[in-house]
Structure 1
Amino acid sequence: MPKKGLLERLAERPVVGDGSQCMTLEKRGYCRAGPWTPEAVLLYPDAVRQLLREYLRAGADVIQTPCFYSSDGKLERTNASSFTAEAINEAACKMAREVANEGDAIVCGSLSPVQAYVNSEGTEATRKEFERQLDVFLKYDVDFMLAEFFGHVEEIELCIDVMKTAKKPIAATLRIGPLGDKNGVSVEECAIRMAKAGADLVGINCLYDFDTCLKTLKRMKTALDKEGLKPYLMCQPLGWRCPEVENEFDGYLTLPEAPLCLEPRTATRVEVHKFARAAYELGTRYIGGCCGMEPHHIRAIAQELAPERKKNPPVNDMCPPLGEMLNLSAFSQIQEKSSKDYWYSVVPGSGRPFNPALSKPVSN
């Protein structure tokens, strides 16, 4: 029996995306911090497959092709030009399909912003870079397309227009917070323009944490409802807490700790449970993760939405009654924490007595 496609799934239940790829591979020693380009799919394919399998096991319905920022212009600018975008994207398509076929997941072809737009080379040059990314996804027949991590609604509109030629479902996410896009286009207008351009799913990814994303999503939904537009709402937030960058165009990148000292800000799985429920109740139907969202975070989303999805991931450490597995611990101190009320009331400490709670963003 053929697998259900993205839109069929969304019509029935929420869809869980996968999480951080390049950032997590860097932490594991397989990717370069800074460039964040995905040549690991050619250099360390087993490591990439293992990460994708962990997301599948965590409960992800979707496996994204692990080729974020794989365009020839980006690879050349980051000294990775010994690898072609075509070779990286082909390898990414093959392994994403291989892992997705190990479960009931579908494959998403991920298109990234391009240098032609950044360099103001014009509409045609920008479209051609998107077409080169898209060609490989068409060749390997991915299940749907995603434009992600775009900072300008104008650029993502061009990308959506190119993706429409594939005649597959289209998702589009901007890396924006309450300030809107990098040209100052409002959150509301961004959402409306993405929907009118032809995206079946619209939303946000990266740069901001749960609370900021929820504020932005609420504004998007209100604007879309007012216009009578009905795309599905999508969100793939950071796996770190960084409320102080809410009004920074570059989000967490403005933190002095970025990118090598972010671990103290890692979200707990309970915080992910709370976010997934709040996002769902707001109307978000595709919920995954971006930088910092590890497999256990994706598992928390899958577990929180298990009643709506009518299925659980293989290991249910936090499913209702939340924490029930802790009863099996050999230690009474752990057994006593086997309740949802306990974990939802915990205020985690950092273990760093002299550290500030927040940092001062470093803006350009």
Structure 2
Amino acid sequence: KKPIIRPGTGILERLDGGEVVIGDGSFLITLEKRGYVKAGLWTPEAVVEHPDAGRSSFITIIYLVILTTVLQQFAFYYSNSYFEYVEEAVWAVEVLKESGKPVAATMCIGPAGDMHGVPPGECAVRLVKAGASIVGVNCRFGPGTSLKTVELMKEGLGATGLKTHLMVQSLGFHTPDCGKGGFVDLPEYPFGLEPRAATRWDIQKYAREAYNLGVRYIGGCCGFEPYHIRAIAEELAPERGFLPLASEKHGSWGSGLNMHTKPWIRARARREYWENLLPASGRPFCPSLSKPDV
């Protein structure tokens, strides 16, 4: 099948034409794990001090192998890009509209709304009225919670008759116990989050549910690794028209295991097995949920 992706086409033309846009993942925490980024303020000095780090650890894998559509600027803490208050987000949209470029506005909120209690649906309405062509959520919450928030945004827009494109870039961690502030309030943040990491199968499910919800800009934020982005590309291969190159040997839904020497592992080379797996954390007497600090 011929790929749907049209190089050189603007973001709105792509979305208007039904193309699935895959956003990049976690530059920040990914590079921090590799020792390049200063923790705490999470400054992106690595792009200046160690430019090869970004190219080798994520950008090359995503862009050349997985064929991600959008790579975002790695400028965390340089710009106020994770908005907790819709009022600030609206100001940003109004200023950015002056550039004449399409504006995508995402907020760091969950189903409870922004930090002043403005519901997700109303946040979306205000952003669209301010001029945003794409609205949604990024960071702070896991896949399931993020999709619930986007669903509430979609309902709010529908109630007012407004139409726009939807975007979601969730954490690569499960956060069902988060409060309004998201994963930053968890006692495990930021250095003990690994037991919460989403599997690639969790992310394939996330990608499909996002697509079924009507979201066409789908990606990841903190905690996402290249294999998570590949999972999105694999799940949405029928819609995009092709599998990523990285899947030629890997195989979709574990099909690469069908030549394993162990028969019980060969039996796992099927979607049904991985879709219904309940992964263990491997930690004895592991609590199922944490108690947020605030």
Shared fold (TM-score, shorter chain, > 0.5):
yes
Identity of aligned residues (%): 49
Contact 1:59 1:298 in 2 (8 A): no
Aligned with 1:195: secondary structure? helix
1:49 — aligned with what? 55
One-letter amino acid matched to 1:164: K
1:15 — aligned with what? 21
Q: 2: distance between equivalents of 1:268 and 1:68?
A: 25
One-letter amino acid matched to 1:58: I
1:39 — aligned with what? 45
2:102 — aligned with what? 169
1:160 matches 2:166: no
Q: 2: distance between equivalents of 1:332 and 1:216?
A: 42
Q: 2: distance between equivalents of 1:149 and 1:324?
A: 38
Contact 2:41 2:77 in 1 (8 A): no
Q: What is the aligned counterpart of 1:214 among 143, 147, 151?
A: 147
Contact 2:84 2:107 in 1 (8 A): yes
Q: 1: distance between equivalents of 2:73 and 2:121?
A: 29
1:101 — aligned with what? none
Q: 2: distance between equivalents of 1:41 and 1:315?
A: 25
Deviates more, 1:283-292 or 1:164-173: 164-173
Q: What is the aligned counterpart of 2:157 among 224, 230, 234?
A: 224
Q: 1: distance between equivalents of 2:262 and 2:41?
A: 45
Flag as ranges the 4+ runs of structure 1 deviating above 3 A.
none
Cα shift readout 1:69-103 (whole Å, capped 9, x = no counterpart): 21xxxxxxxxxxxxxxxxxxxxxxxxxxxxxxxxx
Q: How high is the TM-score relative to the length of structure 1?
A: 0.76
Distance 1:253 1:339, change over 3 A: same
User: Mapping of 1:224-303 within 5 angstroms?
Assistant: 224-245=157-178, 248-303=179-234
Cα shift readout 1:39-87 (whole Å, capped 9, x = no counterpart): 11111100011221122123311111111221xxxxxxxxxxxxxxxxx
CA RMSD of aligned residues (A): 1.3
User: Mapping of 1:18-29 within 5 angstroms?
Assistant: 18-29=24-35
**Higher RCO, 1 or 2 (CA under 8 Å, sep at least 6)?**
2
Q: 1: distance between equivalents of 2:243 and 2:163?
A: 28
Cα shift readout 1:88-120 (whole Å, capped 9, x = no counterpart): xxxxxxxxxxxxxxxxxxxxxxxx32xxxxxxx
Question: Which runs of no fewer than 5 residues in structure 1 stay unpaired?
Answer: 71-111, 114-147
Question: Which runs of no fewer than 5 residues in structure 2 stay unpaired?
Answer: 1-5
1:183 matches 2:116: yes
Distance 1:309 1:2, change over 3 A: closer
Contact 1:175 1:205 in 2 (8 A): yes
1:312 — aligned with what? 243
Q: 1: distance between equivalents of 2:285 and 2:160?
A: 50
2:268 — aligned with what? 337
Q: 1: distance between equivalents of 2:83 and 2:251?
A: 34
One-letter amino acid matched to 1:226: A
Residue 21 of structure 1 deviates from its aligned partner by 0.8
Residue 178 of structure 1 deviates from its aligned partner by 1.3
Q: 2: distance between equivalents of 1:224 and 1:166?
A: 25
Residue 183 of structure 1 deviates from its aligned partner by 1.4
One-letter amino acid matched to 2:9: K
Q: How high is the TM-score relative to the length of structure 2?
A: 0.93
Q: 2: distance between equivalents of 1:6 and 1:179?
A: 29
Deviates more, 1:192-201 or 1:329-338: 329-338
